[in-house]
A = this chain, B = another copy of it.
Amino acid sequence: MQLHQSSWPEIDAYLQRSKGIIVPIGSTEQHGPNGLLGTDAICPEVIARRAGDASGILIGPTFNVGQAQHHLAFPGTISLRPSTMIAAIYDWTASLTRHGFERIYWFNGHGGNIATINAAFSEIYGDWSLKRAGANTQPVRCFLRNWWELGGVGDLCRQLFPVGEGSHATASEVSVTYAAYPDAVKQVEMTPKIAPNGPILDADDYRRRFPDGRIGSDPSQATAEKGEKIIAAASKALVGDFERFLAAN
């Protein structure tokens, strides 16, 4: 069940049976020579959509631009300042809480978002902790899950790509986007075969260290078929993980 394709009476009915929602959250940033700029938003979006279709869980709209300052030396990257991103997550959460949602599962596709999302959670909880939230509202409960950390998904990725999975523009994430958008598959020769590793600082420094944008990966191995396997496994694991979140004490 997709929120953006639902009417408000359908959401009203959903809230009678569940107070939980999954919100895909990603980034729009360079993903190397053959990866899509939308990779980090597309991955959680397609996995969540598949899970929602199979289970009836409500999937929110995708938060598609995140914290990507380090990729700004590559054209096409769009980034929010962390302070802006905290304000936006705060507003999304306040809106959903207003309707009665009590558990929000942020399903993340970008490592660079993790710190800011967690900071946003503290900003949100702080309203209740300081007794400043509206008197009648129930404290909301937020949860962050990166798609590659769902049960079994990491093992599958390592099995599919024993060499050159890497940590940015990974073979797995590029595969997932190829499964989602077969027309966008790009064949690019890469040199070196496997990209270097290193720390992440500002954008100019990043481009000096990682001239084509990849970190530690060889995404020329990516295929739509392998991506499909990952989507199938991840979407199934997502349903279970979300249910445990709803049931958690």
Q: Which residues of A contact B (CB under 8 A)?
A: 2-12, 15, 28, 30-38, 41-42, 60-65, 67, 69-70, 72-84, 86-88, 90-92, 94-96, 98-100, 112, 114-120, 122-123, 125-126, 128-132, 134-137, 139, 141, 181, 183-184, 186, 188, 198-199, 201-205, 213, 248-249
Option from B30, B81, B132 in Cβ contact (under 8 Å) with A87: B81
- Nearest-neighbour CB distance to chain B for A219, whole angstroms, equals 10
Using known A-B contacts A3-B38, A7-B186, A70-B129, determine if residue A88 contacts B88 with beta carbons closer than 8 Å: yes
Alpha-carbon separation in the docked complex, A98 to B128 (Å)? 11
- Nearest-neighbour CB distance to chain B for A239, whole angstroms, equals 20
Q: Is A38 a contact of B61 with CB atoms below 8 Å?
A: yes
Closest 4 CB pairs of A and B: A4-B38, A115-B118, A129-B203, A11-B76
Alpha-carbon separation in the docked complex, A108 to B64 (Å)? 17
Provide the residues of chain B in CB contact with A213, threshold 8 Å.
8
Using known A-B contacts A75-B99, A202-B125, determine if residue A80 contacts B69 with beta carbons closer than 8 Å: no
Give the nearest-CB partner of A120 in chain B.
B82
Alpha-carbon separation in the docked complex, A2 to B201 (Å)? 27
Q: Is A4 a contact of B37 with CB atoms below 8 Å?
A: yes
Provide the residues of chain B in CB contact with A120, threshold 8 Å.
82
Provide the residues of chain B in CB contact with A8, threshold 8 Å.
30-33, 37, 74-77, 213
Provide the residues of chain B in CB contact with A95, threshold 8 Å.
72, 77-79, 130
Give the nearest-CB partner of A82 in chain B.
B119
Provide the residues of chain B in CB contact with A12, threshold 8 Å.
75
Option from B33, B83, B88 in Cβ contact (under 8 Å) with A7: B33
Alpha-carbon separation in the docked complex, A96 to B79 (Å)? 9
Alpha-carbon separation in the docked complex, A183 to B135 (Å)? 41
